Chains A and B, each alone.
Chain A
Amino acid sequence: MEFAELIKTPRVDNVVLHRPFYPAVEGTLCLTGHHLILSSRQDNTEELWLLHSNIDAIDKRFVGPLGTIIIKCKDFRIIQLDIPGMEECLNIASSIEALSTLDSITLMYPFFYRPMFEVIEDGWHSFLPEQEFELYSSATNEWRLSYVNKDFAVCSSYPPIVIVPKSIDDEALRKVATFRHGGRFPVLSYYHKKNGMVIMRSGQPLTGTNGRRCKEDEKLINATLRAGKRGYIIDTRSLNVAQQARAKGGGFEQEAHYPQWRRIHKSIERYHILQESLIKLVEACNDQSHNMDRWLSKLEASNWLTHVKEILTTACLAAQCVDREGASILIHGTEGTDSTLQVTSLAQIILEPRSRTIRGFEALIEREWLQAGHPFQQRCALSAYCNSKQKWESPVFLLFLDCVWQILRQFPCSFEFNENFLIMLFEHAYASQFGTFLGNNESERCKLKLQQKTMSLWSWVNRPSELSQFTNPLFEANNLVIWPSVAPQSLQLWEGIFLRWNRSSKYLDEAYEEMVHIIEYNKELQAKVNILRRQLAELETEGGTQESP
Chain B
Amino acid sequence: MNLLSGLLEMELLRIWMKLSPDFRERLGLLDSTLILDVPLGVISRIEKMGGATSRGENSYGLDITCKDMRNLRFALKQEGHSRRDMFETLMRYAFPLTHSLPIFAFANEEKFNVDGWMVYNPVEEYRRQGLPNHHWRITFINKFYELCDTYPPLLVVPYRASDEDLRRVAAFRSRNRIPVLSWIHPENKTVIMRCSQPLVGMSGKRNKDDEKYLDVIRETNRQISKLTIYDARPSVNAVANKATGGGYESEDAYPNAELFFLDIHNIHVMRESLKKVKDIVYPNVEESHWLSSLESTHWLEHIKLVLTGAIQVADRVSSGKSSVLVHCSDGWDRTAQLTSLAMLMLDSYYRSIEGFEILVQKEWISFGHKFASRIGHGDKNHADADRSPIFLQFIDCVWQMSKQFPTAFEFNERFLMTILDHLYSCRFGTFLYNCESVREKQNVTERTVSLWSLINSNKDNFKNPFYTKEINRVLYPVASMRHLELWVNYYIRWNPRIKQQQPNPVEQRYMELLALRDEYIKRLEELQLANSAKLTEPSSSPASPSQMVPHVQTHF
Task: List chain B residues, Cβ under 8 A from A533.
Answer: 527
CB closest chain-A residue, reference B530 = A536
- The yes or no answer to B27 lying at the interface (CB within 8 A) is no
B84 interface residue per 8 A CB criterion: no
A535 to B301, CA, bound (A): 63
**Interface contact A521-B530, CB-CB below 8 Å:** no
Q: How large is the interface on A (under 10, 10 to 19, 20 to 34, 35 or more residues)?
A: 35 or more
Whether B291 lies near A297 (C-beta < 8 A) is yes
* Binary flags per residue of A282-318, CB closer than 8 Å to B gives 1, else 0: 0001000000111111011000010000000000000
1/0 contact string of A529-549 vs chain B (CB within 8 Å): 101110110111011001000
- What A residues does B509 contact at CB under 8 A? 412-413, 474, 476
Q: Are A413 and B483 in contact (CB under 8 A)?
A: no
| Closest A residue to B513 using CB positions | A518
A414 closest partner in B (C-beta): B505
> How far apart are the CA atoms of A515 and B531 in the complex, in Å?
31
Are B550 and A528 in contact (CB-based, < 8 A)? Answer: yes
CB contact under 8 A between A300 and B404, given known A487-B497, A536-B531: no
B295 with A413: CB separation less than 8 A: no
A521 to B524, CA, bound (A): 13
Q: Which residues of A contact B405 (CB under 8 A)?
A: 507
Question: Which residue on A lies nearest to B286, using beta carbons?
Answer: A488
Contact B527 A489 (CB under 8 A): no
Q: Which of B162-170, B438-446, B540-548 contacts A (4 or more CB under 8 A)?
A: B540-548
Q: Which residue of B lies closest to A510 (CB)?
A: B407
Q: Does A28 contact B (CB under 8 A)?
A: no
**A412 contacts B292, CB within 8 Å?**
no
Q: Is the CB of A543 within 8 A of B520?
A: no
Contact of B540 with A542 in the complex, beta carbons under 8 Å:
yes
Give every chain A residue within 8 A of B541 (Cβ-Cβ).
Answer: 542
User: Does A522 contact B517, Cβ atoms closer than 8 Å?
Assistant: yes
Interface centre among B286, B407, B548 (most CB of A within 10 A): B407
Identify the interface centre among B291, B300, B408: most chain A CB within 10 Å of its CB. Answer: B291
Within 8 A of A (CB), among B473-522: 478, 480-483, 485-486, 488, 492, 497-499, 505-506, 509-510, 513-514, 516-517, 520-521
Query: Distance (Å) between the CB of B493 and the closest chain A CB?
Result: 11
Assess whether A324 is interfacial by the CB under 8 Å rule: no
| Residues in A whose Cβ lies below 8 Å from that of B483 | 495, 499, 503
How many residues from B make CB contacts under 8 Å with A?
60
Contact with A along B530-556 (1 / 0, CB 8 A): 110011010111001100111010001
CB distance from A391 to the nearest CB of B (A): 29
A515-B509 Cα distance, complex, nearest whole Å: 10
Q: How far is the CB of A548 from chain B (nearest CB, A)?
A: 12
- Tell me the nearest residue of chain A to B551, going by C-beta: A528
Residue of B nearest to A511 (CB): B406
A532 and B524 form a contact (CB under 8 A): yes
B295 touches A294 (CB 8 A): yes
- A299 contact set on B, CB distance < 8 A: 291
> Is A424 interfacial (CB 8 A cutoff)?
no
Q: Which residues of A in the span 422-453 have a Cβ within 8 Å of any Cβ on B?
A: none
- Taking CB atoms, residues of chain B closer than 8 Å to A532 are 524, 527-528, 531, 549-550
**Is there a chain A Cβ closer than 8 Å to B216's Cβ?**
no
| CB pair B498 A539 closer than 8 Å | no
Is B520's CB under 8 angstroms from A522's CB? yes
Residue in B closest to A295 when the chains form the complex, CB atoms: B481
Q: Is B468 an interface residue (CB 8 A)?
A: yes
CB-based nearest A residue for B543: A542
A514 touches B295 (CB 8 A): no
Contacts of A411 in B (CB 8 A): 505
Q: Are B406 and A296 in contact (CB under 8 A)?
A: no
Verify if A519 is at the interface (C-beta below 8 Å from B): yes
* Chain A nearest Cβ from B83, distance in angstroms: 35
A535 and B481 contact, CB distance less than 8 A: no
B537 CB contacts on chain A under 8 angstroms: 543
Residue numbers in A under 8 Å from B550 (CB-CB): 528, 531-532
A546 smallest CB distance to B (angstroms): 5
B468 A514 Cβ-Cβ under 8 A: yes
Given contacts A292-B481, A539-B534, contact A525 B520 (CB under 8 A): yes
Task: Evaluate contact between B524 and A300: CB separation under 8 angstroms.
Answer: no
Contact with B along A484-504 (1 / 0, CB 8 A): 010111101001000100110
A522-B520, A529-B527 given; A489·B486 CB < 8 A:
yes
Q: B466: CB under 8 A from chain A?
A: yes
Task: Report yes or no: A300 in contact with B539, Cβ–Cβ below 8 A.
Answer: no
In the complex, A284 Cα to B535 Cα: how many Å? 70
What CA separation (Å) do A305 and B289 show in the bound complex? 11
Q: Which of A441-481 contact B (CB under 8 A)?
A: 474, 476
Does A526 interact with chain B (Cβ within 8 Å)? yes
Contact check, B539 vs A543: say whether CB atoms are below 8 A apart: yes
Is the pair A507, B404 in contact by a Cβ cutoff of 8 Å? yes
Tell me the smallest distance from the CB of A292 to a CB of chain B, in Å: 6
Known contacts A285-B482, A529-B527, A543-B539; is-contact A297 B292 (Cβ 8 Å): yes
Q: Which residues of A contact B301 (CB under 8 A)?
A: 293
For the complex, give the distance between the alpha carbons of A521 and B519 in Å.
Answer: 13
- B286 proximity list for chain A (CB < 8 A): 488
Measured between alpha carbons, how far is A492 from B531 in the docked complex, in Å? 54
Q: What is the distance, in angstroms, from B317's C-beta to the closest C-beta of chain A? A: 21
Within 8 Å of chain B (Cβ to Cβ): is A1? no
- Does B395 count as interface, using CB distance less than 8 angstroms? no
Residues of chain B from 112 to 158 with CB closer than 8 A to chain A in the complex: none
Closest residue of chain B to A301 (Cβ to Cβ) is B292
Q: Is B523 an interface residue (CB 8 A)?
A: yes
Do B406 and A510 have beta carbons less than 8 Å apart? yes
Chain B residues closer than 8 Å to A531, beta-carbon distance = 548, 550
Q: Tell me the bound Cα distance from A526 to B552 in angstroms.
A: 11
Check if B171 is an interface residue, CB within 8 A of chain A.
no
Q: Give the distance in Å from the alpha carbon of A292 to the alpha carbon of B292 in the complex.
A: 14
Q: How far is the CA of A522 from the CA of B553 in the complex (A)?
A: 11
Chain A's closest residue to B534 (CB) is A539
A120 proximal to B (CB < 8 A): no
B534 touches which of A489, A495, A528, A536 (Cβ 8 Å): A536
Chain B hits for A525, CB < 8 A: 517, 520-521, 524
A521 x B517 contact (CB < 8 A): yes
A63 at the interface (CB under 8 A from B): no
Minimal beta-carbon separation of B452 from chain A (angstroms):
27
Report chain A residues within 8 Å CB of B544.
539
Q: Are B466 and A292 in contact (CB under 8 A)?
A: no
Are A300 and B482 touching (Cβ within 8 A)? Answer: no
Q: Judging by beta carbons under 8 Å apart, are A539 and B540 in contact? A: yes
Q: Which of A296, A529, A543 has the most C-beta atoms of chain B within 10 angstroms of its own C-beta?
A: A296
Bound Cα distance A428, B293 (Å): 37
Interface centre among A300, A490, A502 (most CB of B within 10 A): A300
Residue in A closest to B288 when the chains form the complex, CB atoms: A488
* 29 A/B residue pairs, CB under 8 Å, sorted by A: A285-B482, A295-B295, A295-B480, A295-B482, A296-B295, A297-B292, A299-B291, A300-B290, A413-B506, A474-B505, A487-B287, A487-B498, A489-B486, A495-B483, A507-B407, A507-B408, A515-B513, A518-B556, A519-B513, A529-B527, A532-B531, A535-B545, A536-B527, A536-B530, A536-B534, A538-B545, A542-B540, A543-B537, A546-B539
Query: Across chains A and B, which 6 residue pairs bring their CB atoms closest together, nearest first?
Result: A488-B290, A525-B520, A300-B291, A296-B295, A511-B406, A532-B527
Known: A522-B516, A522-B517, A535-B545. 20 other contacts (CB 8 A): A292-B482, A296-B481, A297-B292, A300-B295, A413-B506, A474-B510, A487-B285, A487-B498, A489-B285, A490-B488, A507-B406, A507-B408, A511-B466, A514-B466, A515-B466, A522-B513, A525-B517, A531-B548, A535-B549, A543-B540
